[in-house]
């Protein structure tokens, strides 16, 4: 049972950190919890090397902060707060040197329980995703989901969005770690995605409800994402990408980092290829990757087991196991397995006529065995 | 000296309206007055009439000449009234026997030397004249072949000068001679039109793009609309320009329709008999809504009507003005354009096949195998979003066109020629026509029972879906939560695909292909 002191201190730190006292977060880990930060006197803070007027301002702000209002707001938005000291938090959150006062969560509580016990993979990447990145994201997410993993990402445009959507589309559980309050819609385009995640997933943020996104909130968000993960998968990233920040945090926390190799000609793949150069595990084969990931998690979770062993609602099987019902369907599926292809290309590779290929793809698509990717291209699931 | 009457014709939309043209010569101050709502061009006719008459050797009397056009409340437009006004004046002035032109129609513009010049809408005028049952129609020789095509027992005199027109009206021998000459010219022009359909553009000139070609073939049979999605240089425009070459030939009836439209718009070359090639219109993306669907205070047909029975090609679809695109909805669905004006509502036919093309994103390289796309996800989604849902709903096929990968040209592919595709298309169209006749014959038998069926069941029966096709359709509806329009459009498409293989039943594979071709996901509306 978490003491109310703990909750109050956690909330207080979270609210003030979002209001400009970010330096508080540096003390949380150092003092061993928000309670000690929140309740510390001026002398102790000054001893840490903080300037007098900083301390003064904090003291004043602490007096005036209205935690009741924050609580009411939480109630209103249907989210709840898990303070720093709670066992419910993933343990790594407490390991962060820049630890949060606690986390705000929106979504169904039962899902949170489920998520806590499941292996979690962070799938992140550029906002300017190529068709290739989209193809790869779903190919990575779907087998992970099928093995009971939870997909964590940041709900940004591009790879993040696609990771969430593929997870939801295949009956999986997904967590969006936000750079704003859990009740704020950002980016606006993802309004409907946000609704879907509220239904079948969780929104997590260290920022209290009502916090608008800002330039500085996203790098902070990335460290929470890393703390939620058992491994990080970078799909596509340029040299400036925020995904690289997530990787840095993950490495600090001792997480495995996987990277999807990209073209060396593409500016947008330079960051991710750089990761591989520095020693990240390249994903060469999705099946092998999933095994590797689960292996890494199992060690981590001390044989705690996978909570949702393939308890997936609509997970389509990989094409190796699933047979299309017709000869043409099988040929097409084989051709699509190698890489996403256009109908014309499939026709050329299989020797079938264009209408035959189109017909086969129509059936495969409805059975969830093939999916359209970018203009006129298809991939096998 | 006295009063003379003749028929003239005013154009209203695509139709010609008969106009009574009267001339009265009476003592008074010399001068010509035109009454009966003439526009500026008609009012100017009096100067041309005076000079042309003088130069043809028929000086006008120095008396008061009143010219009247009735019905008086119809606005008369254009120079086509020169000839009837001149002939009525000459008759009233004593150069023609009075009464000999009462049941004659005339149209044409006059040069000051008395030459008859071509006019717009000769075919429309001939249609109206034939319906009137007049003795004969006098038109400039340049447009006589066109007017002659209407047939309907109408005598057509193609004359070159005002003097010749006068002698046609004075002497039956000359009239018979001119009529024979017109007939000869017209038959020759018609033969010429038939042979000129051999075109240089051929489908076999485009390598690859098998799926797009298949889409065009389906569009050719069923009159479906299609959107091509592809990077710059992937061959979208090449394909679209070759689309008319695989369309079935215009029937005589269609040809008359199209010629009438083009002629009214002044696009039909003088001297040609009939348009035999399917129209191909490719308006630029800066075209306004009235330019596309028609408009103006004297409503003129727009590009969609000029593309009637042919192809409307809209390149760079998202670059068109929003209101221009939205105005396309009615013609896409109903095949007509309705233009309302204060005094009249006009219907222009617009049964065309829309072939649209667009890049997948603003930079054009999204999904390109080698080039890098520099657009943000939001920009790509916004680009696709410029095409509204209701418009997209009416486009049956969305097809990706891809640039050929390197080394492909050396493989020496043999591509179908337009002629061989057209054979398939024509066979499918013939089968479709036969099938529809069968259906109509069987319809009354089902009538009473049919009423109780749900719309979907009725539709499934109408399209003759096989059992497996039905279960596929059910799966599609369950998965995509597809609306009624989406389902019925997909079925129509599947029906056309079945027609291509001359199957009375729509089988699973036909429906499957239709569902792939209809898939809009390529436009990334809500995917990311």
- Compare all CA atoms of chain A with the CA of B497 and give the residue at the minimum distance: A355
Higher pLDDT, B288 or A298: B288
Q: Is A188 on the interface with B (CB under 8 A)?
A: no
Flag whether residue A361 sits within 8 Å of chain B, measured between CB atoms. yes
Least CB–CB distance from A354: residue in B211, B367, B479: B211
Q: Least CB-CB distance to B360: which of A192, A363, A375?
A: A375
Where along chain B do its domains lie?
3-194, 208-405, 422-523
Report whether pLDDT(B441) > 80: no
Torsion of CA A115, A117, A121, A124, to 10 degrees: 30
Of B211, B378, B527, nearest to A358 by CB-CB distance is B211
Higher-confidence position of A189 and B107:
B107
Displacement of CA B363 from its chain's centroid (Å):
34
As a whole number of angstroms, the distance between CA A250 and CA A244 comes to: 10
Chain A residues with beta carbon closer than 8 angstroms to that of B475: 366-367
Taking all residues of chain A, what is their mean pLDDT, rounded to a whole number? 85
Q: Which residues of A touch B374 (CB under 8 A)?
A: 128
Q: How many Cβ atoms sit within 10 Å of the Cβ of residue A182?
A: 27
- Asked if the peptide bond before residue A254 counts as cis, ω within 30 degrees of 0, the response is no
Check residue B456 and give its pLDDT.
58
Indicate the residue of B475, B508, B513 with minimum beta-carbon distance to A355: B513
Three-state SS at B129: helix
B479 touches chain A (CB under 8 A): yes
Q: Is A359 close to B210, i.e. CB distance below 8 A? A: no
Tens-digit pLDDT profile for residues B123-180: 999 999 999 888 899 999 999 988 988 888 889 999 999 999 999 999 899 999 999 9
Residue A5 tokens, joined? 């002191």
Q: Contact, B147 vs B134, CB < 8 A?
A: no
Tokens 């000068």 identify what position? B161
CA distance A148 to chain B (A): 23
**DSSP structural state of residue A53:** H
Q: Is B161 helix (H, G, I), strand (E, B) or coil?
A: strand
* Residue A193 to chain B, least CA–CA distance (Å): 10
- Per-residue pLDDT at A312 exceeds 60: no
Residue that is written with structure tokens 């105005």 in the block: B327
User: Does A158 contact B377 at a Cβ distance shorter than 8 Å?
Assistant: yes
- Sheet containing A256-259: which strands, arranged edge to edge? A79-83, A102-107, A201-205, A174-177, A150-153, A120-124, A231-234, A256-259, A281-282
Q: Given A130, A162, A362, which is nearest B516 (Cβ)?
A: A362
Classified as helix, coil or strand, B322 is helix
Please state the length of chain B: 528
Interface with A, mutate which of B206, B210, B221, B380 (most A CBs under 10 A): B210
Rg, chain A, Cα only: 23
pLDDT at B374: 78
**CA atoms of A74 and B492, how far apart (whole Å):** 52
Q: State percent of chain A over pLDDT 90.
A: 29
Asked if A375 lies within 8 A of B522 by C-beta distance, the reply is yes
B323/A371 Cα distance (integer angstroms): 34
Q: Which residues from chain A sit within 8 angstroms of residue B497, using beta carbons? A: 355
Per-residue pLDDT reduced to its tens digit, B319-329: 999 899 999 98
Whether the CB-CB separation of A58 and A20 falls below 8 Å is answered with: no
Whether the CB of A127 is below 8 Å from some CB of chain B: the reply is yes
- What ipTM goes with this model? 0.77
Distance (Å, whole) CA B120 – CA B215: 37
Which of chain B's residues have a Cβ under 8 Å away from the Cβ of A365?
Answer: 515-516, 519
What is the structure's pLDDT at B7? 93
Q: Is B66 helix (H, G, I), strand (E, B) or coil?
A: strand
Helix, strand, or coil (residue B10): strand
For chain A, give the number of residues. Answer: 381
Query: Distances in Å between the alpha carbon of B105 and those of B169, B301, B482?
Result: 11, 25, 58
Residue A283 in tokens = 């994903």
Read off the pLDDT of residues B268-282 as tens digits, 9 standing for 90 and up. 877 777 888 888 999
Would an 8 Å CB–CB cutoff place A326 in contact with chain B? no
The verdict on B510 touching A (C-beta cutoff 8 Å) is yes
Q: Is A80 helix (H, G, I), strand (E, B) or coil?
A: strand
Test A128 with B514 for CB contact under 8 angstroms.
no
CA B446 to chain CA mean position, Å: 37
Opening angle at CA A170, ends A167 and A174, nearest 5: 25
* Binary contact (B367, A372; C-beta < 8 A): no
Find the radius of gyration of the CA atoms of chain B: 28
- Minimal Cα distance from B374: which residue of A? A128
Question: Nearest residue on chain A to B358, judged by CA atoms?
Answer: A375
Cross-chain CB nearest to B366 (options A266, A355, A375): A375
Euclidean distance between CA atoms A217 and B382, whole angstroms: 26
pLDDT of residue B40: 85
Residue A67 has pLDDT above 60, yes or no: yes
How close B411 gets to chain A, by Cα (Å)? 11
Chain B interface includes A113 (CB < 8 A): no
Spell out the long-range contacts of A247-254 with Cβ–Cβ below 8 A and sequence spacing 24 or more.
A247/A275, A247/A280, A249/A96, A249/A222, A249/A223, A249/A225, A250/A122, A250/A226, A252/A97, A252/A226, A253/A92, A253/A95, A253/A96, A253/A226, A253/A227
Q: Which of A362, A369, A373 to mutate to test the interface with B (most CBs of B within 10 A)?
A: A362
How many C-beta atoms lie closer than 10 Å to residue B455's C-beta? Answer: 10
The pLDDT assigned to B110 comes to 93
> What per-residue confidence (pLDDT) applies to B367?
74
Of A162, A192, A375, the CB nearest to B528: A162
According to DSSP, the β-strands at B156-159 and B397-400 are unpaired
The residues, any chain, with a CB within 8 Å of residue A179's CB and separated by 6 or more, are A154, A186, A205, A207, A213, A214, A217, A218, A220, A221
pLDDT at B1: 61
Interface contact flag, B510 A161, Cβ < 8 Å: no
Could you tell me if B474 lies within 8 Å of chain A, comparing CB atoms?
A: no
Interatomic CA distance for residues B155 and B132, integer angstroms: 12
Looking at domain B208-405, its CATH superfamily turns out to be P-loop containing nucleotide triphosphate hydrolases (3.40.50.300)
Interface touch A376/B367, C-beta < 8 Å: yes
Contact status of A342 with chain B (Cβ, < 8 Å): yes
Main-chain dihedrals φ then ψ at residue A372, nearest 5 degrees: -75, 140
Report d(CA A160, CA A168) in Å as an integer.
13
Please state which of the ranges A65-79, A89-103, A288-302, B495-509 shows the lowest mean pLDDT.
A288-302
Query: What is the spatial distance between Cα A228 and Cα A182, in angstroms, rounded to a whole number?
Result: 17
Pairing type for strands B280-281 and B397-400 reads unpaired
Which residue, chain included where needed, has tokens 């436009």?
B523
Q: Provide the shortest C-alpha distance from residue A316 to chain B (in Å).
A: 14
> Are A128 and B375 inside 8 Å of each other by CB?
yes
Could you tell me which CATH number the domain at B3-194 has? 3.30.230.10
- B521 close contact with A: CB closer than 8 A: yes
List chain A residues with CB under 8 Å of B515. 362, 365-366
Taking phi over 0 as left and psi of -120 to 50 as alpha, with beta for the rest, A78 belongs to: left
Helix B122-132 and helix B252-264, axial crossing angle in degrees, nearest 10: 110
Task: Check residue B459 and give its pLDDT.
Answer: 66
Q: Which of B300, B304, B256, B253 is nearest to B280 (CA)?
A: B304
B516 and chain A in contact, CB less than 8 A: yes
Task: Please state whether B407 falls in left (phi above 0), alpha (psi between -120 and 50) or beta.
Answer: left
Q: Cβ A376–B472 below 8 Å, yes or no?
A: no
The answer to whether residues B193 and B277 touch, using CB atoms and an 8 Å cutoff, is no
Mean pLDDT, range B189-203, rounded to an integer: 69
Q: How far apart are CA B499 and CA B426, in angstroms?
A: 11
Separation of alpha carbons A258 and B12, rounded Å: 72
> At B445, is the pLDDT very low, low, confident or very high (cuts 50, 70, 90)?
low
- Alpha carbon distances (Å) from B480 to A194, A369, B445, B472, B475: 20, 15, 35, 12, 8
Name the pTM for this structure.
Answer: 0.74
Place B381 in a pLDDT band, splitting at 50, 70 and 90: confident
CA distance, residue B231 to nearest chain A CA (Å): 10
Q: Could you read off the pLDDT of A211-233 as tens digits, one per residue?
A: 999 888 898 999 999 999 999 99
Proportion of chain B above pLDDT 90, given as a percent: 29
Nearest-Cα distance to chain A for B225, in Å, is 17
- DSSP class per residue in A327-371: HHHHHHHHHHHHS-EEHHHHHHHH---HHHHHHHHHHHHHTTSEE
Q: Cα separation of B42 and A319, whole Å?
A: 76
CB contact under 8 A, B516 and A157: no
> CA nearest A168: which of A324, A318, A277, A315?
A315
């Amino acid at each position: 049972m978490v003491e109310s002191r703990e909750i109050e201190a956690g909330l207080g730190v979270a609210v003030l950190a979002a209001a400009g006292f970010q330096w508080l977060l540096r003390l949380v880990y150092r003092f061993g919890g928000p309670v000690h930060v929140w309740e510390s006197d001026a002398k102790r803070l000054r001893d840490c090397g903080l300037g007098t007027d900083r301390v003064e301002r904090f003291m004043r702000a602490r007096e005036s902060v209205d935690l009741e209002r924050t609580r009411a707001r939480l109630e209103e938005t249907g989210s709840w707060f898990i303070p720093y000291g709670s066992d419910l938090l993933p343990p790594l959150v407490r390991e962060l040197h820049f630890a949060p006062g606690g986390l705000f969560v929106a979504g169904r509580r039962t899902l949170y329980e489920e998520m806590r016990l499941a292996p979690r993979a962070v799938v992140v990447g550029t906002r300017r995703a190529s068709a290739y990145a989209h193809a790869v994201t779903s190919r990575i997410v779907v087998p992970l989901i099928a093995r009971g993993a939870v997909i964590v990402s940041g709900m940004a445009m591009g790879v993040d969005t696609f990771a969430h959507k593929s997870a939801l589309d295949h009956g999986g559980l997904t967590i969006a770690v936000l750079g704003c309050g859990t009740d704020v819609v950002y980016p606006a385009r993802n309004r409907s995605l946000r609704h879907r995640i509220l239904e079948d997933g969780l929104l997590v943020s260290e920022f209290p409800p009502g916090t608008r996104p800002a330039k500085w909130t996203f790098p902070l968000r990335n460290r929470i994402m890393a703390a939620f993960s058992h491994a990080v998968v970078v799909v596509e990233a340029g040299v400036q990408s925020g995904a690289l920040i997530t990787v840095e945090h993950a490495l600090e926390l001792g997480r495995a980092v996987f990277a999807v190799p990209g073209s060396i000609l593409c500016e947008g793949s330079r960051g991710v290829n750089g990761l591989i150069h520095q020693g990240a595990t390249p994903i060469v084969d999705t099946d092998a990757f999933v095994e590797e990931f689960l292996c890494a998690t199992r060690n981590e979770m001390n044989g705690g087991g996978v909570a949702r062993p393939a308890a997936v609602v609509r997970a389509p099987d990989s094409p190796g196991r699933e047979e299309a019902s017709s000869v043409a369907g099988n040929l097409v599926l084989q051709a699509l397995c190698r890489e996403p292809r256009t109908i014309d290309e499939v026709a050329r590779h299989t020797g079938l006529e264009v209408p035959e290929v189109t017909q086969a793809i129509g059936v495969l698509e409805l059975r969830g065995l093939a999916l359209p990717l970018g203009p006129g291209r298809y991939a096998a699931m | 000296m006295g009063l003379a009457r003749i028929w003239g014709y005013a154009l209203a939309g695509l139709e010609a309206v008969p106009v009574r043209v009267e001339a009265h010569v009476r003592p008074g101050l010399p001068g010509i007055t035109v009454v009966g709502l003439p526009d500026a061009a008609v009012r100017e006719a009096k100067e041309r009439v005076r000079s042309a008459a003088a130069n043809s050797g028929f000086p006008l009397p120095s008396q008061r000449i009143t010219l009247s056009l009735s019905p008086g409340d119809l606005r008369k437009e254009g120079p086509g009234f020169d000839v009837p006004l001149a002939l009525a004046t000459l008759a009233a002035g004593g150069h023609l026997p009075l009464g000999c032109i009462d049941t004659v129609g005339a149209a044409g513009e006059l040069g000051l030397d008395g030459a008859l010049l071509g006019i717009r809408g000769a075919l429309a005028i001939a249609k109206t004249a034939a319906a009137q049952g007049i003795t004969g129609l006098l038109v400039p020789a340049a447009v006589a072949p066109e007017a002659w095509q209407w047939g309907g027992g109408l005598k057509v005199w193609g004359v070159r000068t005002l003097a010749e027109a006068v002698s046609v009206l004075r002497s039956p021998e000359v009239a018979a001679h001119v009529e024979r000459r017109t007939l000869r010219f017209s038959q020759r022009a018609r033969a010429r039109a038939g042979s000129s359909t051999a075109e240089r553009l051929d489908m076999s000139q485009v390598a690859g793009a098998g799926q797009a070609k298949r889409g065009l073939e389906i569009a050719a049979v069923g009159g479906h609309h299609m959107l091509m999605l592809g990077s710059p240089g992937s061959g979208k425009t090449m394909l679209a320009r070759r689309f008319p070459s695989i369309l079935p030939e215009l029937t005589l009836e269609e040809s008359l329709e199209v010629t009438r439209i083009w002629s009214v718009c002044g696009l039909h070359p003088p001297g040609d008999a009939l348009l035999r090639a399917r129209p191909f219109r490719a308006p630029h993306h800066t075209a306004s809504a009235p330019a596309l669907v028609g408009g103006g205070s004297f409503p003129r047909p727009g590009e969609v009507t000029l593309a009637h029975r042919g192809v409307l090609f809209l390149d760079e679809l998202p670059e068109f003005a929003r209101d221009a695109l939205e105005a396309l909805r009615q013609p896409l669905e109903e095949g007509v354009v309705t233009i309302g004006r204060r005094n009249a509502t006009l219907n222009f036919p617009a049964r065309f096949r829309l072939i649209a093309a667009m890049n997948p994103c603003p930079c054009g390289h999204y999904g390109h195998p080698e080039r890098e796309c520099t657009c943000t996800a939001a920009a790509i989604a916004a680009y696709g979003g410029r095409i509204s849902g209701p418009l997209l709903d009416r486009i049956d096929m969305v097809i990706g066109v891809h640039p050929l990968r390197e080394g492909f040209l050396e493989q020496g592919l043999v591509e179908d020629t337009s002629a061989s595709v057209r054979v398939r298309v024509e066979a499918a169209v013939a089968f479709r026509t036969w099938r529809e006749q069968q259906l109509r014959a069987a319809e009354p038998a089902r009538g009473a029972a049919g009423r109780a069926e749900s719309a979907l069941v009725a539709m499934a029966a109408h399209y003759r879906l096989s059992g497996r096709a039905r279960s596929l359709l059910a799966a599609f509806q369950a998965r995509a939560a597809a609306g009624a329009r989406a389902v019925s459009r997909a079925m129509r498409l599947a029906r056309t695909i079945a027609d291509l293989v001359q199957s009375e039943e729509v089988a699973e594979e036909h429906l499957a292909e239709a569902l792939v071709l209809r898939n809009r996901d390529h436009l990334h509306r809500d995917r990311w």
